[in-house]
Chains A and B, each alone.
Chain A
Amino acid sequence: MLEVTNLGKSFGSAQALKQVSFKAQDGQILGLIGQNGAGKSTTFHSILNFIQFSGTISWNGQALTEKDYNIIGYLPEERSLMPKLTVQQQIRYLARLKGEQTADIDRQIPKWLERFAVKGDKKDKIKSLSKGNQQKIQLICTLLHQPKLIILDEPFSGLDPVNADLLKQAILEAKQAGATIIFSDHDMSNVEDLCDQILMLKQGKVVLTGDLQAVREQFGRNRLFVKTDWSTERLAALPHVIQVSLTRAGTYRLTLDAESAGPEIFAALTQGHYIQTFDQQPPTLDEIFRMKAGANDD
Chain B
Amino acid sequence: MTKMGIVAGETYERQVKSWSFLILVLSPFFFILLSFGVGYLSANAGQAKNTIAVVANDSNLRREFIQSNTLQTTNKHATLAAAKQALQQKKIQGYLVLKTANNQIQVTYHGTKQLESSAKQALQQFVIQKQQLLNQQAANLTSRQVQQLNQLPQIQEKVEKEESTTNLAKLVSFWALLFLMYFILVTYTSTTAQEIASEKGTKIMEIIFSSTTARKYFYGKMLGVFGVIVTQIAIYLVGGFALYELAPHLAMTKTLFQQYRDLIDQVLKNFFSVNLLYVLLGVVIFTILAALSGALVTRPEDATKAAQPALYLVMLGFFGALTLNQQAGLLVVKILSYVPFLSSFFMPLRVIDGSVSGLAVLASLIILVLSIAGLTYYVGGIYSGLMLQTDNVGFWKSFKRGIKIR
- Whether both chains belong to one complex is answered with yes
Q: Please tell me if B209 contacts chain A, counting CB pairs below 8 Å.
A: yes
- In chain A, residues 14-49, which have Cβ atoms closer than 8 Å to a Cβ of chain B? 45, 48
Given the known interface contacts A48-B209, A66-B213, A69-B211, the answer about A97 and B203 at a Cβ–Cβ threshold of 8 Å is no
Stretch of A72-80, A245-253, A289-297 lying at the B interface: A72-80
Q: How many Å lie between the Cα of A96 and that of B206 in the bound state?
A: 16
The number of residues on chain B lying at the interface, defined by a beta carbon within 8 Å of a beta carbon of chain A, is 25
Q: Please tell me if B212 contacts chain A, counting CB pairs below 8 Å.
A: yes
Interface string of B1-40 (1 = CB under 8 A from A): 1010011001000100000000000000000000000000
Q: A78 near B207 (CB under 8 angstroms)? A: no
Q: Which residue of A lies closest to B6 (CB)?
A: A96
Which residues of the partner chain A approach B211 to less than 8 Å between Cβ atoms?
69-70, 72, 94, 97-98
CB < 8 Å neighbour of A97 from B3, B205, B388, B405: B3
Which residues of the partner chain B approach A11 to less than 8 Å between Cβ atoms?
404-405
Residue from B205, B207, B384 having most chain A Cβ neighbours under 10 A: B207
Q: How many Å lie between the Cα of A48 and that of B213 in the bound state?
A: 10
Q: How many Å lie between the Cα of A74 and that of B213 in the bound state?
A: 14
Which residues of the partner chain A approach B6 to less than 8 Å between Cβ atoms?
93, 96-97
Q: A50 near B208 (CB under 8 angstroms)? A: no
Q: Which residue of A lies closest to B205 (CB)?
A: A80
Q: A80 near B202 (CB under 8 angstroms)? A: yes
Q: Please tell me if A141 contacts chain B, counting CB pairs below 8 Å.
A: yes
Q: B404 near A74 (CB under 8 angstroms)? A: no
Which residues of the partner chain A approach B406 to less than 8 Å between Cβ atoms?
51-52
Q: How many Å lie between the Cα of A45 and that of B209 in the bound state?
A: 10
Q: How many Å lie between the Cα of A72 and that of B209 in the bound state?
A: 11
Q: B210 near A69 (CB under 8 angstroms)? A: yes
Q: Which residue of B lies closest to A10 (CB)?
A: B404
Q: B203 near A76 (CB under 8 angstroms)? A: yes
Q: B212 near A51 (CB under 8 angstroms)? A: no
Q: Please tell me if A268 contacts chain B, counting CB pairs below 8 Å.
A: no
Interface string of B205-239 (1 = CB under 8 A from A): 11111111100000000000000000000000000
Given the known interface contacts A93-B6, A96-B6, the answer about A82 and B204 at a Cβ–Cβ threshold of 8 Å is yes
Q: Please tell me if A158 contacts chain B, counting CB pairs below 8 Å.
A: no
Q: Which residue of A lies closest to B212 (CB)?
A: A97
CB < 8 Å neighbour of A82 from B1, B202, B388: B202
Q: A12 near B206 (CB under 8 angstroms)? A: no
Which residues of the partner chain B approach A239 to less than 8 Å between Cβ atoms?
none
Q: How many Å lie between the Cα of A141 and that of B207 in the bound state?
A: 9
- In chain B, residues 360-406, which have Cβ atoms closer than 8 Å to a Cβ of chain A? 384-385, 388, 404-406
Interface string of A123-145 (1 = CB under 8 A from B): 00000000000000010011000
Which residues of the partner chain A approach B209 to less than 8 Å between Cβ atoms?
48, 50
- In chain A, residues 107-164, which have Cβ atoms closer than 8 Å to a Cβ of chain B? 138, 141-142, 151
Given the known interface contacts A94-B211, A97-B3, the answer about A76 and B206 at a Cβ–Cβ threshold of 8 Å is yes
Q: Please tell me if A265 contacts chain B, counting CB pairs below 8 Å.
A: no
Q: How many Å lie between the Cα of A75 and that of B385 in the bound state?
A: 19
Q: A80 near B206 (CB under 8 angstroms)? A: yes
Q: How many Å lie between the Cα of A50 and that of B205 in the bound state?
A: 10
Which residues of the partner chain A approach B10 to less than 8 Å between Cβ atoms?
93
- In chain A, residues 228-287, which have Cβ atoms closer than 8 Å to a Cβ of chain B? none
Q: A50 near B202 (CB under 8 angstroms)? A: no
Q: A76 near B405 (CB under 8 angstroms)? A: no
Q: How many Å lie between the Cα of A74 and that of B205 in the bound state?
A: 11
Q: B404 near A78 (CB under 8 angstroms)? A: no
Q: B206 near A50 (CB under 8 angstroms)? A: yes
Q: Please tell me if A1 contacts chain B, counting CB pairs below 8 Å.
A: no
Q: How far is the CB of A33 from chain B (nearest CB, A)?
A: 21
Q: Which residue of A lies closest to B215 (CB)?
A: A66
Interface string of B175-205 (1 = CB under 8 A from A): 0000000000000000000000001001111
Q: How many Å lie between the Cα of A84 and that of B202 in the bound state?
A: 12
Which residues of the partner chain A approach B207 to less than 8 Å between Cβ atoms?
74-76, 80, 94, 138, 141-142
Which residues of the partner chain B approach A45 to less than 8 Å between Cβ atoms?
388
Q: Which residue of A lies closest to B199 (CB)?
A: A82
Q: How far is the CB of A174 from chain B (nearest CB, A)?
A: 16
Q: How many Å lie between the Cα of A194 and that of B385 in the bound state?
A: 33
Q: How many Å lie between the Cα of A78 and that of B298 in the bound state?
A: 14
Q: Please tell me if A81 contacts chain B, counting CB pairs below 8 Å.
A: yes
Which residues of the partner chain A approach B405 to less than 8 Å between Cβ atoms?
11, 50-51
Q: Which residue of A lies closest to B213 (CB)?
A: A66
Q: How many Å lie between the Cα of A151 and that of B210 in the bound state?
A: 10
Q: A81 near B210 (CB under 8 angstroms)? A: no
Q: Which residue of A lies closest to B201 (CB)?
A: A80
Q: Which residue of A lies closest to B209 (CB)?
A: A50
Q: Which residue of B lies closest to A79 (CB)?
A: B203
Q: How many Å lie between the Cα of A127 and that of B102 in the bound state?
A: 92
Q: A81 near B202 (CB under 8 angstroms)? A: yes
Q: B206 near A83 (CB under 8 angstroms)? A: no
- In chain A, residues 56-102, which have Cβ atoms closer than 8 Å to a Cβ of chain B? 66, 69-70, 72, 74-76, 78-84, 93-94, 96-98
Q: How many Å lie between the Cα of A97 and that of B388 in the bound state?
A: 19
Q: Which residue of B lies closest to A96 (CB)?
A: B6
CB < 8 Å neighbour of B204 from A66, A80, A96: A80
Which residues of the partner chain B approach A84 to less than 8 Å between Cβ atoms?
14
Given the known interface contacts A93-B6, A97-B208, the answer about A50 and B384 at a Cβ–Cβ threshold of 8 Å is yes
Q: Which residue of B lies closest to A52 (CB)?
A: B406
Q: How far is the CB of B48 from chain A (nearest CB, A)?
A: 52
Q: How many Å lie between the Cα of A265 and that of B211 in the bound state?
A: 58
Which residues of the partner chain B approach A82 to less than 8 Å between Cβ atoms?
199, 202, 204
Q: How many Å lie between the Cα of A291 and that of B7 in the bound state?
A: 47
Which residues of the partner chain B approach A93 to less than 8 Å between Cβ atoms?
6, 10
Residue from B7, B210, B405 having most chain A Cβ neighbours under 10 A: B210
Which residues of the partner chain A approach B404 to less than 8 Å between Cβ atoms?
11-12
Q: How many Å lie between the Cα of A78 and that of B405 in the bound state?
A: 19
Which residues of the partner chain B approach A66 to less than 8 Å between Cβ atoms?
212-213
Q: Which residue of A lies closest to B384 (CB)?
A: A50
**Would you mind naming 21 contact pairs between A and B with Cβ atoms under 8 Å apart?**
A45-B388, A51-B388, A52-B406, A69-B210, A74-B206, A74-B207, A78-B206, A80-B203, A80-B204, A80-B206, A80-B207, A81-B204, A82-B199, A93-B10, A94-B211, A96-B6, A97-B3, A97-B7, A97-B212, A138-B207, A151-B210
The 8 closest A-B pairs by CB, nearest first: A97-B211, A80-B203, A74-B210, A76-B206, A80-B204, A78-B203, A80-B202, A48-B210
